[in-house]
Chains A and B, each alone.
Chain A
Amino acid sequence: MKGKTVDILYALFRYALVTGISFIIIYPLIMKFSIAFKDKTDIYNPTIYMIPVHYTMDNIRMAMQILDYFPLLGNTLLFVVVTTVLTTASCALAGYGFARFSFPGSNILFALVILTLLVPTSTLMVPMYLHFRSFDIMGIIHLITGKSGINLLNTYWPSMITSATAIGLKAGLFIYIFRQFFKGMPKEIEEAALIDGAGGVKTFLRIMLPNAVSPMITVILFCFVWQYNDTFFTSLFMSEIALMPTKVSSLAAQANALLPGLLGVGGGSGVKADPNHVAMIIDTGILLAILPLITLYVVVQRYFVESVERSGIIG
């Protein structure tokens, strides 16, 4: 009897705790949703906490106009999808190579993979920037054209090249995840395939990859999300290309400049936007920016959480 009471008390305590933490996590999100549909007059009404009295789509419309939302979203998604595909492919290859083949120096090379994770990106920032400013591998371009390389800044190439060569954003972690997973696969499957006459590449494509769905989902989701949110490399290499993270981080300035014009007060320099209203638009803009991620997460989270349990993040 006593044990039962303790159990119930514990269950209650656990619910309180889980609910509390969950609330802390989603509270800012709920607030943004509430703000997005609030009318301007509602900001000055202190009795309104969450549910707006005057519903309006104005905030969303204006934030969309300021962000130039749909072209921006399309642009960003295309960029992120391509880098994600490239990163996943190159990291899966490298992970498999490190997991299943032994060649001279393979352990040292894998230690170098971990090293790429450990060195802060800020250390490589300046050389990378200069590298892409006059891009030239081993002086080939200089040899042909006589110029000192091509300027790849403000193109998609820097990110494409780093993703395709498995050295992009947190790629070391992805290689590690793939390696752990492939190490855990039974060797017999490969041997059987080998006896049946499949070569190494065929075994990888036909047998190993289709089985690697769980680490793949983990890597794809992480890669997609981190790439989508990344400001470091995008502002370093592609500051002039309209991508979601760069645009969102300058949202305040843009909202301040464009809001009077959108409200029809005239875009003169003397007109200042209402700061409260600007804050509303910024919140709405942030919500618009993360909406694709939330949608994606809602769709894949089930597979994601399950796959994490089964995949080899751990050794």
Chain B
Amino acid sequence: MRGSRLSLNHKRSWLGVAFITPWLLGFVFMFATPLIQSVKFSFSKLNVDPSGFTLEWVGWSNFNNALFVDATFNRVLTESVRDMVLNVPMILFFSLFSATLLNQKFRGRVLARAIFFLPVILASNAISAAEASGLINLVGDATAVNELGQSGSQYNVMAMVMILSDIGLPLSFVDYIVDAILRIYEIITSSGVQILIFLAALQSVPGAMYEVAKIEGATAYESFWKITFPLVSPLILTNVIYTIIDSFTGSKVTQMIFTTAFTTQNFGLSAAMSWIYTLIISIVLIVVGYFLSKRVHYN
């Protein structure tokens, strides 16, 4: 009896391994191997020749070049990280807000949801590249496009800055809000998946809790902060991490790493750059993950 049970367990675990075999193969050959190679490349000079490539060990010089010799890498890197730090809270706030909004019952909710998730479908680097090139083609150069975009919003930013600072808000906070409003389209379009995740979380909050809170005399505001917020907080962590990762895909650093590799053919430098980048992202993720997971409420 005992023996057959053990073997059944064994059989089960082999079956499990069989189920994940495709992934495991992929992981070993398409992820782990390239990852290790990428580390090697970052310490080498890579010479491509007709029969393949040869590596020449150069130690830390690629990292040195990326950090201290290359004129733009530092700037682009700090810009990308800064953009991420600014964007993540905005996207998070907006997506939680939208999800709460879409979770309420009102007529036309189905249509509103369909529209809110549309950016998930339409977020495409190809399309934004084509749009940008169309505009550049029209105006003649890239800086003009940026200026055009700013004046094109036809919104009196100064008036708003005045109002907000008159209320007595600190100037840096005012800057942040104004910046968010000017980039509302960008924020909305990168919030699709996050809204989905929050909405799924909100659906799982038992309705009875709100009823109890209502009977006890809680306002909508109170029940949001006392019930909704704690219960979706684990998903805030998920969303923060997703947003941070999502913000790399089209970032300037990624583009720079790409051009360094395939336009200037400097594979070693490109690998070093991408490892510096990966390292910084990992540090950000660890720090954010550590501080958020301490505050998250698990039930």
Interface, chain A (partner B; CB < 8 A) = 11, 14-15, 17-18, 21-22, 24-26, 29, 90-91, 93-94, 96-98, 100-104, 106, 109, 112-113, 116-131, 134, 137, 148-149, 161-162, 164-167, 171, 175, 200-201, 204, 222, 225, 229-232, 236, 244-246, 248-249, 251-253, 256, 275-276, 278-279, 282-283, 285-286, 289-290, 293-294, 296-298, 301-302, 304-305, 308-309, 311, 313-315
B20 in contact with A97 (CB, 8 Å): yes
Chain B residues whose C-beta falls within 8 Å of the C-beta of A229 in the assembled complex: 123-127
Q: Count the B residues whose beta carbon is within 8 Å of the partner chain — how many? A: 94
**Is B228 at the interface (CB under 8 A from chain A)?**
no
Q: How far is the CB of A224 from chain B (nearest CB, A)?
A: 10
Q: How far is the CA of A99 from the CA of B251 in the complex (A)?
A: 34
- Which residues of the other chain, B, contact A164 by a CB distance below 8 angstroms? 22, 26
Which one, A14, A244, A286, A294, contacts B131 given CB within 8 A? Answer: A286
Pick from A116, A119, A297, A308: contact of B199, CB under 8 Å: A308
Q: A131-B33, A232-B125 known; A305 and B26 CB under 8 Å? A: no
Give the A-binding residues of B (Cβ under 8 A).
12-20, 22-27, 29-31, 33-35, 37-38, 41, 46, 48, 51-53, 98, 101, 104, 106, 108, 110, 112-127, 129-131, 133-138, 140, 184-185, 188-189, 196-197, 199-201, 203-204, 234-235, 238, 245, 248-249, 253-254, 257-258, 261-262, 267, 270-271, 274-275, 277-278, 281-282, 285
Chain B residue numbers with a CB within 8 Å of A296 are 121
A25 near B29 with CB under 8 A, answer: no
A94 to B19, CA, bound (A): 6
- A112 to B23 Cα, complex, angstroms: 11
Min distance, Cβ A228 to any Cβ of chain B, angstroms: 8
Asked, given contacts A24-B188, A125-B274, A161-B30, whether A252 binds B133 with beta carbons under 8 Å apart, the answer is yes
Instruction: From B110, B113, B257, B285, give the contact of A125 (CB < 8 A).
Output: B257
Establish whether residues A231 and B126, one from each chain, have CB atoms under 8 Å apart when the complex forms.
yes
Contacts A124-B35, A134-B52 hold; do A246 and B130 have CB atoms under 8 A apart?
no
> Is A167 a contact partner of B31 (Cβ separation < 8 A)?
yes
Q: Would A225 and B121 count as touching, CB distance under 8 A?
A: yes
Q: What are the 3 tightest A-B residue pairs by CB atom distance, in nearest-first order?
A: A101-B16, A165-B26, A97-B19
Q: What are some 23 contacts across the A-B interface (CB < 8 A)? A: A25-B118, A97-B18, A101-B13, A101-B19, A102-B16, A109-B20, A113-B27, A124-B35, A125-B261, A126-B46, A127-B33, A137-B29, A149-B52, A162-B30, A165-B27, A171-B23, A231-B126, A236-B258, A275-B140, A278-B134, A278-B137, A282-B131, A301-B117
Q: Determine if A123 and B19 form an interchain contact, defined as CB atoms under 8 angstroms apart.
A: no
Residue of B113, B121, B196 with most partner-chain A CB within 10 A: B121
Residues of chain A contacted by B114 (CB below 8 angstroms): 297-298, 301, 305
Asked whether, in the complex, the Cβ of A127 is within 8 Å of the Cβ of B112, the reply is no
Asked if B138 and A279 make an inter-chain contact with CB atoms under 8 angstroms apart, the answer reads yes
- Closest chain A residue, CB of each to CB of B98: A21
Interface contact B261-A120, CB-CB below 8 Å: no
Complex Cα–Cα for A97 and B15 (A): 8
A245 to B127, CA, bound (A): 8
> Which partner residue on chain A sits nearest B37 by CB separation?
A127
* Contact yes or no, A112 B38, CB < 8 A: no
Cβ–Cβ < 8 Å partners of A279 in chain B: 134-135, 137-138
In the complex, residue of chain A having the shortest beta-carbon distance to the beta carbon of B118: A25
Give A21's nearest chain B residue, CB to CB.
B188
